[in-house]
């Protein structure tokens, strides 16, 4: 397998970029299943904001996908790449599902914020699915296969950066921003 190590290193860089683009601002706290104490803000708005921050927190916590660079067996390397891509797809599936659960929001402007973020994340997910399918369908990992996978991953990372940029400028209604101070996951 000619050129095996060079494309793998570029792939690792792309995966590292994915881990770095998980979310603009890390948040702490745990998802809550029950009511959130609002202390003045509308309880439904605080619950929504808490869940929104919980999605962001999950993205940050799940962003670090590792790839074993020491793989010398081509079949094992192919499996490791496929598994890593599968984990990225799984994370994005959860994020997209959880973002979808946030709609309808107590204010339609918040629904727009979710849509603006979900659309590029969905496109990124599709590119990672394509990369995984390329790996899984290949009889062996060749330089051409790596090039195709790297191209899909580069496009996915570009689209994820778009989502992160949108996350940084998305504007939630004033009462939602005020509720962030009372939402455990946003602290």
To the nearest 10 degrees (0 to 180), the angle between helices 43-62 and 74-101 is 170
Cis ω before 104 (30° cut-off from 0): yes
Q: Which residues pair with 39 in a beta bridge?
A: 41
Name which of 138, 135, 178, 136 is nearest 40 in CA terms. 178
| pTM beyond 0.75, yes or no | no
Local confidence pLDDT in tens for the 187 residues of the chain: 433 333 333 333 333 333 333 333 333 444 444 444 435 568 999 999 999 999 988 887 776 555 555 667 888 888 988 999 999 999 999 999 999 999 999 999 899 889 988 999 999 999 999 999 999 999 988 889 989 999 999 999 898 888 878 777 778 889 998 999 999 998 8
């Amino acid at each position: 397998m000619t050129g095996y190590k060079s494309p793998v290193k570029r792939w690792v860089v792309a995966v590292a970029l994915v881990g770095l683009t998980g979310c603009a601002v890390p948040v702490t706290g745990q998802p809550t299943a029950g009511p959130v104490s609002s202390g003045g803000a509308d309880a439904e708005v605080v619950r929504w904001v808490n869940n929104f921050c919980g999605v962001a927190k999950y993205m940050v916590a799940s962003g670090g996908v590792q790839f074993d660079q020491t793989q010398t067996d081509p079949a094992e390397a192919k499996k490791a790449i496929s598994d890593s891509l599968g984990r990225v797809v799984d994370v994005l599936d959860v994020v997209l599902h959880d973002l979808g659960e946030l709609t309808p929001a107590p204010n339609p402007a918040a629904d727009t914020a979710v849509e603006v973020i979900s659309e590029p994340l969905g496109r990124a997910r599709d590119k990672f699915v394509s990369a995984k399918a390329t790996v899984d369908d290949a009889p062996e990992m060749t330089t051409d296969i790596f090039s195709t996978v790297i191209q899909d991953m580069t496009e996915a990372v570009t689209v994820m950066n778009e989502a992160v940029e949108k996350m940084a400028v998305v504007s939630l209604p004033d009462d939602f921003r005020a509720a962030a101070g009372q939402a455990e996951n946003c602290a």
